[in-house]
Amino acid sequence: MGLEERVESLKVKHQALEAAIEEENSHPYPDDLHLVTLKKQKLRIKDQLATLNR
pLDDT value of residue 1: 77
* C-alpha 20, offset from chain centre: 9
pLDDT value of residue 54: 81
Structure pTM?
0.89
Distances (CA, A) of 22 to 1, 6, 25, 34: 30, 24, 5, 12
* C-alpha 3, offset from chain centre: 18
pLDDT value of residue 28: 96
With the C-alpha atoms ordered 6, 9, 53, 4, is the resulting torsion angle positive or negative?
positive
Per-residue DSSP letter, 29: S
Q: Return the CA Rg of the chain.
A: 13
Does the pLDDT value for residue 53 go beyond 90? no
5-35 tens-digit pLDDT: 999 999 999 999 999 999 999 999 999 999 9
